[in-house]
Amino acid sequence: LDFSDEIKEKIMKIVNIYAGQGYRIISLCYKKLDAIPPEDDKSRLLCESNMIYIGFVTILDPPREGVKDSVEQCHDAGVEVVMITGDSPTTAKAIAKQISIINNDDEIVVEGKEIEKVKSFFDFSKIKVFARVSPEHKQDIIEKYQDANQVVAMTGDGVNDALALNMADAGIAMGIQGTDVSKEASDMIISDDSFTSIVTGIEQGRGIFARIRAVVFFYICINVFEGIVQFILSVILDFPYFLDDAFYYQWVFLAITLHIFPGLILTFDRTSKDVMKQKP
C-alpha cells in the first residue's frame, strides 16, 4: 500500500485527536537491511529513510492525584508553575490544561527550537508550557528566568536533567525514579516523587520564616522598650535603680521571663492558613 499524502493526513488527524486528550504517541515502522551498517550519522539517515509504516501506539500517563490542587495552590502563593516536556505540543497542552497550568486554548505552547525567537522577557514570562525540549533548551529556559532576577526551582529525574538541576537556584531530584547523576546534581531530593510534596515544603518553609520573623520582631520591640525605660529612669529621672539590689533582681527576673517564654511560645505558633495566599 502506497503511503500517500492522503493516508498521512488521515493518520495525523487521528494522532492529533489522541494527542489532544493527553496521550503520548509512538509511531512504528521498519526496514529490511542486508547487513548491519556502521554507527555513524550518514548510515543512520540511510536506515531511517524509505521505511515501511506499521502504525502507532498510544500511551496514557495521567497526572497524579492532587497535582491540580497543588498547582492552584502555587498560583495563589505567587509561584509560577511552568511545564517543560519532551512531548509534542498538542499532548503537552492537553496535560497542562488538566492540571491547571494553562486554563484556555488561547495560551501558546512553545517548542524548544523556538525559544531563541522569544526576545523580551515580558513575552517569555507568558509562556507556561515548553514542548519537544532538549537538555540544552532546559538550560536556556532557566538562564532566561535568572537573567530577569527570578528565583528558579527545577525538577528532574534523568541524566539529561543534571546540568539544568545544577544550574537552577533550587535543583529538586526525584528519589524513586531519579538517577544517581540527577540526585548528585540537585540541592534536595523528593522521597515520594510527588509534586505535592514540593508545595507542602514551600508551605512549611513559609511557616518557619513567618515564625522567625515574629520572634525577631518581638525581641526588637521588647529591647527597644527596655532601652527607653532604662534611659528614662537613669538619665531623665536620675533614678539609680541598678544600685538597689531588690530592684535589680526584680528587673533581672522580669527580663528573663520576658525574653525567654514569649519567644519560645512564638516558635510553636501554628502556621497561618493564609500563608499560601501571600506573595513571595
Q: Tens of pLDDT along 227-278?
A: 887 788 777 777 765 556 667 777 778 778 878 888 888 888 888 888 888 8
Q: What percent of the chain has pLDDT over 70?
A: 97
pLDDT score recorded for residue 70: 93
pLDDT score recorded for residue 241: 59
* Mean of pLDDT over the chain: 87
C-beta of residue 96 within 8 angstroms of C-beta of residue 129: yes
Residue type, 98: Q
pLDDT score recorded for residue 269: 82
pLDDT score recorded for residue 245: 67
How is residue 270 written as a grid cell?
501554628
Section 17-31 average pLDDT:
90
Comparing 5-14, 64-73, 142-151, 221-230, the range with the smallest average pLDDT is 221-230
Section 189-203 average pLDDT:
91
**If pLDDT is split at 50, 70 and 90, which confidence band does 1 have?**
low
| Residues 6 or more apart in contact with residue 260 via CB below 8 angstroms | none
Partner residues linked to 58 by β-bridges = 25
Section 26-45 average pLDDT:
84
User: How far is the C-alpha of 108 from the C-alpha of 86, rounded, in Å?
Assistant: 16
| Residues 6 or more apart in contact with residue 73 via CB below 8 angstroms | 199, 203, 276
User: How far is the C-alpha of 208 from the C-alpha of 266, rounded, in Å?
Assistant: 11
- Cell 520564616 maps to which residue? 209
DSSP SS3 for 51: coil
pLDDT score recorded for residue 128: 92
pLDDT score recorded for residue 254: 76
* CA dihedral sign, ordered 182, 187, 191, 197: negative
More confident residue, 107 or 2: 107
User: How far is the C-alpha of 267 from the C-alpha of 215, rounded, in Å?
Assistant: 7
Which DSSP state fits 29?
E
How is residue 268 written as a grid cell?
510553636
Q: How far is CA 164 from CA 41, 65, 67, 69, in A?
A: 27, 27, 23, 26
pLDDT score recorded for residue 223: 84
pLDDT digits (tens, 9 = 90+) for 145-179: 998 899 999 999 889 999 999 999 999 999 998 99
pLDDT digits (tens, 9 = 90+) for 78-106: 999 999 998 889 999 999 999 999 988 77
